Amino acid sequence: MRSRYLVTTAIPGLGLPLLREAGEVTILPEAPDYETLAALCASGDYDVVLTQLRDVIDAPLLARARIRGVSNFAVGYNNIDLDAATTGGVMVANTPGVLTDATADIALLLILGTARRVVEADRLVREGRFKGWAPELMLGSDVSGAVLGLAGFGRIARAVARRAIGFGLEVIFSPRPPGDRPVSNEELGEFAGRVRQVPWDELVKRSDFLSLHVPLTDRTRHLVDAAVLKRMKPEAILINTARGPVVDEAALVQALANGEIAGAGLDVFEDEPRLAVGLADLPNTVLLPHIGSATVAVRNEMARLSALNAIAIAEGRVPAHAVNPQSWT
């Protein structure tokens, strides 16, 4: 029997042609709600589901599902209950590596854009309020010489560090906040002597830019809460290209409104696509619609990887980017 693929949202490039060559492909006409997706997964009509971040694959859905695996069109997989998938023998795969540089670029863009007030400045020009060069027009803060604190030190954080060193920032990091894990010089590799590990509390207190690069887990949900925001410098700027719920967004709005911190550059939100009340009214923010990986080349690569992962799973092979390879043992 030919493999059967359920694709919840059409993907670009080679993704769909690869799947069509390998089997029968069903593409849903619109993003499914939870019940629709749960019923489709339980139908026994599909071997593999190719999902997006907004598709919730939780334990109750997995308990009813008759699928071999889930291929997520993303590097993060917090939309999937991994323990339940593993217990249920459902293989999960993701698309790591290909979006590292693009996402790091967006983090840098947010650092530069918040420091130099790019959104406010652009609006001033478009609204006809630019009256010519002036000594105190749109003054921002310096990036070179500032301290960049990286929460997490995985692939994307390292790509940000590489760029930040080029921009003259001093880079410190805490590899697994809120806990600690010593990172050896060997593990630091090219960064040995160029970045410094500090405890999470020191990272919070010292950073001029605090940039988040942790996965969303029970430990990192609201990692940045009201108490952390209070410990940051008043001139500090928070950057989030990871996952919205890592920040208590209501507390962030309060901190920005009260001047507890100076600004925020966000590519992700706690309850996408909704924003916390008041966030969009704050001038000292740069807000992007979760576009960390949104380049033509990267999305094509993600499509190719997610299709290849799906095909491997459907054919009973452990995919190249299995998140829980132990699920089939």
Where in the sequence numbering do the catalytic residues fall?
Answer: 243, 272, 290
Check residue 96 for interaction with ligand GLV (CB under 6 A): no
Encoding tokens for residue 51? Answer: 């999902």
**Residue 98, CA distances (Å) to 9, 91, 321 in order:** 20, 21, 12
Residue with Cβ nearer ligand GLV (172 or 302):
302
- The whole-angstrom separation of Cα 328 and Cα 318 is 8
Residue with Cβ nearer ligand GLV (95 or 197):
95
Check residue 262 for interaction with ligand GLV (CB under 6 A): no
Check residue 245 for interaction with ligand GLV (CB under 6 A): no
Site string for ligand GLV, 187-226 (x = CB under 6 A): ----------------------------------------
| Cβ(110)–Cβ(241) below 8 Å | yes
- The whole-angstrom separation of Cα 191 and Cα 253 is 34
Residue with Cβ nearer ligand GLV (37 or 98):
98
Site string for ligand GLV, 46-85 (x = CB under 6 A): -------x--------------------xxx---------
Residue listed under structure tokens 């291929």: 71
Residue with Cβ nearer ligand GLV (76 or 113):
76
Residue of 88, 17, 74 whose CA lies nearest to 243:
74
- The whole-angstrom separation of Cα 20 and Cα 319 is 18
Residue with Cβ nearer ligand GLV (263 or 292):
292
Residue with Cβ nearer ligand GLV (197 or 293):
293
Residue 288: φ, ψ to 5°? -120, 150
Residue 74 CB, nearest approach to ligand GLV (Å): 3
Check residue 292 for interaction with ligand GLV (CB under 6 A): yes
Residue 66 CB, nearest approach to ligand GLV (Å): 27
- The whole-angstrom separation of Cα 303 and Cα 20 is 13
Check residue 244 for interaction with ligand GLV (CB under 6 A): no
Residue 295 CB, nearest approach to ligand GLV (Å): 12
Full 3-state SS string of 48-69: EEEECCCCCECHHHHHHCCCCE
Check residue 247 for interaction with ligand GLV (CB under 6 A): no
- The whole-angstrom separation of Cα 229 and Cα 261 is 7
62 Cβ partners below 8 Å, 6+ apart?
41, 81, 84, 85, 88, 90
Binder to ligand GLV among 7, 99, 169, 251 (CB under 6 A)? 99
| Cβ(107)–Cβ(115) below 8 Å | no
Residue 290 CB, nearest approach to ligand GLV (Å): 6
Residue type, 177: P
Give the containing element (helix H, strand E) for 200: helix 200-206
Binder to ligand GLV among 207, 293, 309, 324 (CB under 6 A)? 293
Residue 37 CB, nearest approach to ligand GLV (Å): 19
176 by Cβ neighbours in 10 Å (0-12 / 13-18 / 19+) ranks as middle
Residue 206 CB, nearest approach to ligand GLV (Å): 27
Binding site for ligand GLV (CB under 6 A): 53, 74-76, 99, 292-293
